[in-house]
Structure formats: C-alpha cells, structure tokens
Amino acid sequence: MPFGLFFDYNSIGGKMEILKKFNIITNNKQLYEQAFSHSSFCNEQGLKNNYERLEFLGDAVLDLIISEYLYQKFYLEEGKMSKLRARYVCEKALSEYALSLNFNKYIKVGKGEKASGGQFKKAILADTFEAFIGALYLDQGLNQVKSFVKRVIIPIIEDNKIDFFYDYKSSLQELAQVHHHKIEYEVINQIGPSHNRKFTVIVKIDGFKYGVGIAKSKREAEQEAAKNALLKKIL
C-alpha cells in the first residue's frame, strides 16, 4: 500500500484525520465526507450532496495531471499518449487504486446497495477515487494532488508491469480480419446525467450479437463487449 488513510467516521459529520503520511491538515472535513457518500446513502439520509459533483471535478484534475506527466516523460504522438493515459485512468485502474487504499471501508452506501456489495463495485470504487481527488484539489490545491498521484499512480506507470486496460477491441479486430468477419459496435442504452453516464454497448460479428459491455464511457463499454466476445472463442 503506497500510504495509509486514517478515518474516524462516527457519522456523516464525524471527526476525520486524513493522509497522515502526507502531514495534511484539512481545511474542510466535509469535502472528504462528501467524497465518500454515495447517492444511495444520501437519499436515505435526506442529504443533498453526494460524491457526484466532486467525481466530475476529480476526473478532470486526474486527466490533467496524468496528461502532463505523459507529455513530459514520453515523446509520443497524441493517439499513443491518449491510449497510454486510458490504461491508468480507466474504471478498473481507478477501482484498484481505491482498493489499495482501503476506500471500500469508508464508502457510505444505502442499505440496498450495501447488501449487494456496493463498497466493492468497480464503478463505485472508481467514482469515489475521482471524488477524493476532487476533494483534495479543492482543499489543498493542485500541487498536493500531484504529490498524491506521484505516490499512488506514477510508480505503477513507471513499473509498466500492470496493464489495467488490455485492448480487447484490437485483439477481436485482428481475429476478425484473419477470418474475414465484419465487426460492429452499437450503443443500445445510455442512462444517468452527463457527468455520471453509463453506456451499454453490444458488439456484432457479421450482424449477430456476440458480446455486451457496460461502463462509464463508450470506449470502455466497447472494450467490455469485445472482451465478452473473445471469451466465447467464437473466431
């Protein structure tokens, strides 16, 4: 674990110490409490502010920091930098960062969501990680977030042993070309507000449905659909 987080939640307004190894004295505990509050919990408690707005902000801040790092570290063309960035800010990667920091212990979800293991769901873990980034940015500023990212994410990028974002689409396309099959992706559903949308995508091979993917972005949903198709070993 890169570093420890130490929370003391007695209630949504409970006392909290955060990031002791960073020696951070928070100026706004409520920001972090909000960052760990899922909409299902807030709905049950009659609270207005769940983590979604902080998630929106944290997503943009994280993209900026990782983009700047890749720009300075590697001399790559735009497309390759985008692909590399996606490997480390995709839902799976973000959820793994959150788990490594034991965020699942601090996420507050409603009773129904808790019963279904909500604190361990990839989407909720990933959203919470982005919300935490947003809270840290508002509380401590960009440089402190960079320090956090440098400790948590940059070592994984530099180690280059973990690929959170295997390119299933490319693998499926390569197989299809060998066997002269036609691959198509189709978005069949979109739900949620613009800052917290879920896409459902199907992949068709020669017009027949072979895989379904659901994710926060169209690109990741396509990857999930391709993965499901490959698991069926249909080519």
Evaluated on CA atoms 163, 141, 38, 116, the torsion sign reads positive
Residues 36-68, buried b or exposed e (16+ Cβ, 10 A)?
bbbbbbbeeeeeeebbbebbbbbbebbeebbee
Q: Residue 105 — φ and ψ, nearest 5°? A: -75, -20
3-state class (DSSP) for residue 208: strand
The shares of helix, strand and coil residues in the chain, as percent rounded to the nearest 5, are: 60, 10, 30
User: What amino acid positions are annotated as catalytic residues?
Assistant: 59, 130
Q: Are strands 183-191 and 208-215 parallel, antiparallel or unpaired?
A: unpaired
